[in-house]
Amino acid sequence: MHRRRLLQRLDPSSVVVFRALHLGDMLCAVPALRALRSAVPHAHIALVGLPWAQQFADRFSGYIDEFIPFPGHPLLPEQPVQHDGLARFYTSLCTRGFGLAIQLHGSGDVSNDIVSGFGARAMAGYCRGEPVMRERAVLLPYPQTGAEPERLLPLMEELGAEPAGLHLEFPLSQQDEEELDASGLAKPLQDAAYFCIHPGARQRDKCWPPRQFAEVGDRLAAEFGLKPVLTGAASEADLTAEVAAHMHHRPVDTAAPISIGAMAALMRKAKLLLCNDTGVSHIAAGLKLKSVVVFSKADIARWAPLDRHSHRCIWDPDAQRATMVLKHARALLSGTAPSRQRSVGMWPYW
């Protein structure tokens, strides 16, 4: 006789999920959150995350009912610890008595202790070593292989939440469109076919050199008759300006203090995105926007978008492979399939 899964045994009226990470990591968790919501459609689902992620919770309100900002932990590097808020944070969570707490943050080395402090009636997550299967606790060995969305789903399946697709999402709102219109950034593009170049990343040492972005951008503009558009946060204006300075085809530089949603609204109508390995590559996957993503440091097998036909990932830590980036950008824009070449592991990485 099969043992009933934890979600079926508990039928929790409330669930709290811990994932205190940045944009790309959060977008990769959407398939897991979608499966969870499908399994407990009437439960109140709260997300504990980095303070910025209020906007993530708002965008994915179909899966998340409430956002709770995390005050930090000394052993987690994503944010400084707000020591004066720690006691209030944990006391508040314990008082609420969530039916289930899910650690969706990683291997559990630090995060399992954090989530156990939420005071939920049951807990689930990943761990190191042997699995833990108890009446009110399920901890699975953390997967060492697979893309990030694929690593998160086995936990949901073990809990009794069937997968509802591996695809990413990035829903746009009327507010995103209105903000973009109000900014005036898209005005030069109203009647133009364009592609986007996003030269920045949260960690600058992951960025492909501006000269390489400019070289590929110029070739695509000349060959396909597309307008190049540079995107980025206001803090990345120096990067977009440097790319523009190297280009012969004058780009539209849209690096400005607009929201992620407004930037995504701009990208939505693009024919292609060229970018580094950063959160915007997962926005492109959610928008179904074709992309060429240049990797230089991160685990390409873990962080590459799953649709390897529409999203081509190039390993180029020495910035020597502009020709390969151009080849795959051409293939995506022309709808042709390039010959299979290997640069990291097995096809389809290049």
Interval 181-190 mean pLDDT = 95
pLDDT of 36 > 60? The answer is yes
CA 296 to chain centre: 17
Band of pLDDT at residue 339, cut at 50, 70 and 90: low
Q: What are phi and psi of 159, to 5 degrees?
A: -75, -15
State residue 344's pLDDT score. 38
Residue 67 identity (one-letter amino acid): F
**How many whole angstroms separate alpha carbon 327 and alpha carbon 3?**
52
pLDDT (tens digit per residue) in 156-184: 999 999 999 999 999 999 999 999 999 99
Share of the chain above pLDDT 70, in %: 95
| pLDDT band at residue 342 using 50, 70 and 90 as cut-offs | very low
The Cα diameter of the chain in Å comes to 70
- Going by the DSSP 8-state scheme, the letter that residue 203 receives in this structure is S
Q: For residues 16 and 133, is the Cβ–Cβ distance under 8 A?
A: no
Whole-number Å distance between alpha carbons of 304 and 350: 11
* Count of helix runs (H) and strand runs (E) in the chain: 14, 13
Residues 122/100, Cβ–Cβ less than 8 Å:
yes
pLDDT recorded at residue 202: 87
196 strand-pairing partners? 229, 273
pLDDT of residue 347: 45
Supply the pLDDT for residue 338. Answer: 55
> 170 Cβ partners below 8 Å, 6+ apart?
27, 59, 264, 282, 283, 286, 287
d(CA 300, CA 311): 12
The whole-angstrom separation of Cα 122 and Cα 255 is 45
Q: Which two tokens stand for residue 131?
A: 């699995």
User: Taking residues 190-214, what's their average pLDDT?
Assistant: 94
pLDDT tens readout for residues 116-146: 999 999 999 999 999 999 999 999 999 999 9
Please tell me the distance from the alpha carbon of residue 320 to that of residue 125, in angstroms, as a whole number.
Answer: 41
Own/partner contacts of 291-295, CB < 8 Å, gap of 24 or more, are 291/332, 292/325, 292/328, 292/329, 292/332, 294/208, 294/325, 295/344
Checking if the pLDDT of 110 tops 80, the result is yes
**pLDDT confidence tier of residue 206, bands split at 50, 70 and 90:** confident
For Cα atoms 35, 159, 131, give the angle at the middle one, nearest 5 degrees: 130
Q: How far apart are the first and last CA of the chain?
A: 47
The average confidence (pLDDT) of the chain is 94
Give phi and psi for 84, each to the nearest 5: -70, -10
Q: What is the pTM of this model?
A: 0.93
Confidence at residue 205, expressed as pLDDT on a 0 to 100 scale:
86
Query: What is the Cα–Cα distance from 339 to 240, expressed in whole angstroms?
Result: 32
Answer whether residue 272 shows pLDDT above 90: yes
Q: Could you tell me the domains of the chain?
A: 6-159 (3.40.50.2000), 174-334 (3.40.50.2000)
Q: Residue 315 has what DSSP assignment?
A: E
Please give the Cα distance from 25 to 19 (Å, whole number): 9
Q: Tell me the C-alpha distance between 139 and 126, whole Å.
A: 5
Q: What is the pLDDT of residue 346?
A: 39
What percentage of the chain exceeds 90 in pLDDT?
A: 91
